[in-house]
Copies of this chain bind each other. A is one copy, B any other.
Amino acid sequence: MTTQSQGLHTHVLDTLGLEISSGQCPPGSVLRTDELAQRFDVSRTVVREVVRVLESMHLVESRRRVGVTVRPTETWNVYDPQVIRWRLAGADRPRQLRSLTVLRSAIEPVAAGLAARHATAEQCAELTERALGMVATSRGQQLEGYLEHDIAFHRIVLNASGNEMFARLGDVVAEVLAGRTHHQVMFEDPDPAAVTLHVRLAEAVREGDPEAAERITKEIAVGALHELDVLAP
């Protein structure tokens, strides 16, 4: 998922991005383009392009006569999906999952409220379908199927909110949900209460009840946060 050999650029970028965001190259450490070119056995051109991209993500800073310096964490573009993926793959996944889940708990209730006002008939139908899909896959170790429906469900809500910024958070939510399923040792079937809440949320949106949609989504968020507290200290 992280790297293919579809181009030298991609490979170098992904490797460096991962090393930096995993803390392997701590803030302040200096990279030299020539060394990188040697290390990856690519031309300086490729390295420079990679550095420029990392620079645009504020992961590094390139200064003459000094080299490419890793910048402090506070300046990262933490909303860049690529950065999120790197960080989720790295060492502090727990911390990252937590802050992203808190973000979700702030955004999604509001988005759900808006969705209840703006969702089209088609979106309502697809939402219901996904909720039913979650019910159908909620028992018997069908975690992957459940995950797919879960992601699609939340994506629809965010899109239906009609707000561009919310809609673009779909990828982030997808990463969080996938991370939770794949890495948080989720042996068991999903919490039945959560499944019910999703069904009820679909109903609330369909019936155009913003208050209910917001309230129910808050409950879902509380559940997700609680789950984090239980599974990760």
Point out residues on A near B: beta carbons under 8 Å: 9, 45, 48-50, 52-53, 55-57, 74, 76-82, 99-100, 102-103, 105-107, 109-111, 114, 163-168
Residue pair B165, A99 in contact (C-beta under 8 Å): yes
Write out the residue numbers on chain B whose beta carbons fall within 8 Å of the beta carbon of A81. Answer: 77
Apart from A49-B49, A78-B165, A103-B165, list 14 A-B contacts with CB within 8 A: A9-B52, A45-B48, A48-B49, A50-B52, A52-B52, A77-B79, A77-B168, A79-B165, A80-B80, A100-B165, A102-B110, A106-B110, A106-B166, A107-B107
CB distance from A47 to the nearest CB of B (A): 11
Q: What copy number does this chain have within its complex?
A: 2
Question: Which residue from chain B places its CB closest to the CB of A103 in the assembled complex?
Answer: B165
Write out the residue numbers on chain B whose beta carbons fall within 8 Å of the beta carbon of A74. Answer: 167-168
Question: Which residue from chain B places its CB closest to the CB of A166 in the assembled complex?
Answer: B103
How far apart sit A48 and B7, CA to CA, in the bound complex (Å)? 15
CB distance from A165 to the nearest CB of B (A): 4
Q: A111 touches which one: B52, B106, B167 (CB < 8 A)?
A: B106
CB distance from A208 to the nearest CB of B (A): 19
Write out the residue numbers on chain B whose beta carbons fall within 8 Å of the beta carbon of A9. Answer: 52
How far apart sit A102 and B32, CA to CA, in the bound complex (Å)? 43
17 examples of A-B residue contacts, CB within 8 angstroms: A49-B52, A56-B80, A74-B167, A74-B168, A77-B80, A77-B168, A78-B168, A79-B79, A99-B165, A102-B110, A102-B114, A102-B165, A103-B107, A106-B106, A106-B110, A106-B111, A106-B166
Write out the residue numbers on chain B whose beta carbons fall within 8 Å of the beta carbon of A109. Answer: 106
How far apart sit A165 and B99, CA to CA, in the bound complex (Å)? 6
Question: Which residue from chain B places its CB closest to the CB of A167 in the assembled complex?
Answer: B74
Write out the residue numbers on chain B whose beta carbons fall within 8 Å of the beta carbon of A111. Answer: 106
Write out the residue numbers on chain B whose beta carbons fall within 8 Å of the beta carbon of A80. Answer: 56, 77, 79-80
